[in-house]
Amino acid sequence: MTDKQEIEIREALRQAIDEEMTRDDKVLVMGEEVAEYNGAYKVTKGLLDKWGPKRIVDTPISENGFSGLAIGAAMCGLRPIVEFMSFNFSFVAADQLISTACKQHYMSGGRFNVPIVFRGPNGAAAQVSCQHSHCVESIYGTFPGWYIIAPSNAYDAKGLLKSAIRANCPVLFLENELDYGKKMEIPTHDYTVPIGKAKVVREGKHITLVSYSRMLKNCLEAADEMAKRGIEVEVIDLRTIKPLDIGTVTESVKRTHFCVLVEEGHLFAGICAELGFQVMEHCLDYLDAPIIRVCQRETPMPYSKPLEYATLPNRERIIEALENVRKG
């Protein structure tokens, strides 16, 4: 008997939800098509049959309404998991998320916790154009009160979602539509991954390369290419955006003296802007060249497939940044 299983990210998320619903009867799921249709991306497949309609709840197309309902339920002791069919649709519920969920603990003087997870796909998919391709982490990240999590693989997706469900504050759990079918071997036993801890996924001594979520794949491919050229790139997966594990990043930069940051979101006021400034605060005397950012180009997402590829960070753009940072 093996203690490993090879599963897709969607199945890892499903296992996390199912195991936490078994562990805690206050956990429930709600959202559009999560029950009868088994979830838009089949993350909740089979959960309605197992747990019934009181714990797997289909909602109308009313993000503002069901988000408010879930926040109220969390304040009264339940632990809702709210699925957005796309995090782009969370903008309809922005007032609930920003004005209530992440501020209620402060506004109530600590009397109310809001243990709630908002989860679903974030960022671009395959030719869904500009209204369905937003990266929301920098928008919501500017407000205190959240945990913001963005895993890149099945192991972290399961372990971090379990930690998120157990957290006593609101969590934005950012997935990616194009990654749901990505497979990985993970343990069959119960485990969690700590919130707020980055991971060095590839060791190197010449350049520090930092990213998260779907962009990590491009970074690892770029690091493979640089290795053929004699440059050893250390790749760090942030995993959690807020709270940010700046310690793991700066320890690496102090050894390599060069830093490239990659995110799927836009350049202006993005996660890389914040991360880069913090790296500069902690590592200015260790940097041998300015930090380089590789982000989505400053344009709404095109529908055209070639233009979409050129707009997003890709392997070629990251390799170019890694070459240029060494030139100072």
Is residue 177 located within the same domain as residue 206? no
Structural domain includes residue 94: yes
Is residue 239 located within the same domain as residue 139? no
**Least reliable range by pLDDT among 8-17, 53-62, 298-307:** 298-307
Is residue 108 located within the same domain as residue 213? no
Average pLDDT over residues 272-298: 97
**pLDDT tens digits for range 179-201:** 999 999 999 999 999 999 999 99
- Confidence at residue 314, expressed as pLDDT on a 0 to 100 scale: 96
Is residue 224 located within the same domain as residue 177? no
Angstrom distance (rounded) from CA 185 to CA 13: 14
CB-based contacts of 234: which residues, under 8 Å, 6+ apart?
Answer: 200, 202, 203, 204, 205, 206, 207, 208, 209, 252, 255, 256
Structural domain includes residue 192: no
Structural domain includes residue 319: yes
**pLDDT tens digits for range 216-242:** 999 999 999 999 999 999 999 999 999
Is residue 51 located within the same domain as residue 142? yes
Structural domain includes residue 161: yes
Is residue 40 located within the same domain as residue 179? yes
Pairing relationship of beta strands 183-187 and 199-202 according to DSSP bridges? unpaired
- Confidence at residue 327, expressed as pLDDT on a 0 to 100 scale: 87
Structural domain includes residue 142: yes
Structural domain includes residue 194: no
The domain of 316 spans: 199-327
Task: Count structural domains, the chain.
Answer: 2
**pLDDT tens digits for range 137-158:** 999 999 999 999 999 999 999 9
Is residue 117 located within the same domain as residue 231? no
Mean pLDDT, all residues of the chain: 96
- Confidence at residue 128, expressed as pLDDT on a 0 to 100 scale: 84
Cis bond upstream, residue 243 (ω within 30):
yes
Is residue 273 located within the same domain as residue 174? no
Q: How confident is the model at residue 22 (pLDDT cuts 50, 70, 90)?
A: very high
- Confidence at residue 52, expressed as pLDDT on a 0 to 100 scale: 98
Is residue 67 located within the same domain as residue 177? yes
From the list 118, 63, 58, the residue with the least C-alpha distance to 92 is 63
| pLDDT more than 70, % of the chain | 99
Structural domain includes residue 15: yes
Q: Say if residue 1's pLDDT is above 70.
A: no
Give the DSSP H or E segment for 113.
none
Is residue 143 located within the same domain as residue 211? no
Q: Quick one: tokens of 187?
A: 């343990």
SS3 state at 51: helix
Q: What is the largest CA-CA distance in the chain?
A: 60
Q: How confident is the model at residue 2 (pLDDT cuts 50, 70, 90)?
A: low
**pLDDT tens digits for range 119-133:** 999 999 888 888 888
List Cα–Cα distances, 160 to 164, 167, 310, in angstroms.
Answer: 6, 10, 31
Is residue 160 located within the same domain as residue 269? no
End-of-domain residue from the set 143, 158, 187: 187
- Confidence at residue 324, expressed as pLDDT on a 0 to 100 scale: 97
- The CATH number of whichever domain residue 143 belongs to comes to 3.40.50.970
Q: Quick one: tokens of 177?
A: 């539509």
End-of-domain residue from the set 187, 216, 240: 187
- The CATH number of whichever domain residue 309 belongs to comes to 3.40.50.920
Is residue 151 located within the same domain as residue 59? yes
Instruction: List active site positions.
Output: 63, 132
